[in-house]
Structure 1
């Protein structure tokens, strides 16, 4: 009688269980060959408890993740929080890999690589794109920068989150690509809002306008997803905060200024996002840019 021995995968840590992080972390559960144990930590106890119910183990701190895990993922809201977390993880022990899934900018990715590489820890930046539903479905797009030799070990884990595309060994390569992607996505919202406001004021039906655009050369991520789901029904709840979009745009503009690359459309988008937050408050969704554009066009942005 023969027996089959299943080798357990590495011990994985996940820090940051917000709307994106919780979905990605859950994708690692139930995969013992990929993830032998999943340890999780977040400042919100309820977020940790929700993952523990699904089979994860709670970790008391970022340092505890560093002490117990082979690979640690971070999914956090700002560069400053990412920096503090990674420093704590590294201080806790010597994981083989620390991978930042946040959009935290190429400058921080370079800083973290300089911190971790001398300690023998491979540092990867792997920001994601796709939104909350795709985080749960495992269909995100991931852009990765980091050392080539350990990448295959990380790639098999990243494939649980979606489709990873390796951008190269340069620290921050993934972050740079993510900022470019976010610029195009935000510009799509702004230009769609402008076109739609013009058409509505001219008497066109907005739903029919979107139908035409989605069958024509004007189609983009805003006409395809954001208007049908959030703007036409006037819910403005697509799931990405205007404050986070502004954070990403500011990171992009800082990097572009350093590289001496003018981004006038980026400036327009930044202005739209600032005005959206002023009008709608800190919890505003980035699709509420449409309200700012409509108001400037003399339309009633608060109509049902």
Structure 2
């Protein structure tokens, strides 16, 4: 099963975390494999069946795309996938939130016509009518997709360029994040190394009240615990209490666990976070278009005495 990583929110705590979900392509392929009765399948029913098909955990089923979302991200993906299949003619929409295979559609019914279902049956799952993507949800979903594609493109371009370019990139990013003072000062503090990475000591603030030891690796494989242990030793040798380790790949679980057991403060930045920081700080990217979403200001229209 092809999966994608997404930043999502826990509906219980509104805490953000990363989770793997079936890709849009995997969802659409699974939708075509479902057995559709003549009366069709509701999007909620389809989401539940696909959740079982993909063996999703409760956390994967209930995760929301944003803190303000009222419904789970996975059911939304299922509904969106079904609507995409309707557009391509592979499914038929019987009514809002209900789908069927074209060959199983009752004779004489049309794509947007509801099957003969009683009013009671139609109201069994009122949430289904709210799952059709709103304009705002569609913008958010497309925005996240564009962000993901941009991050992947950034990482690939970093890997395609030279170690010297990587050195310049890290300096630019650190300065953009408020480290190192000026660009010139940061450039003097960070120097190249023979293994395709960079290392150096950089001011934490413009006054140089504290320093941060920086190491970055332009690697394909994950950075393991021994590399982080060596980095921690280098910090002690430089009398530094804080460090940033940047990689274009990822860190093993053992490496991540190790930094939580030592007194020295070490921040690990993997390839995904590196790309996101570049996007957030406008390093190597530029704004093409921006959209503002506005809503009615109810207070403006409230007259005195109401």
Q: Structures share a fold, TM > 0.5?
A: no
Which entry has the higher C-alpha Rg, 1 or 2? 2
The normalised TM-score by structure 2 is: 0.26
Greater relative contact order (Cα < 8 A, sep 6+): 1
TM-score w.r.t. length of structure 1: 0.26
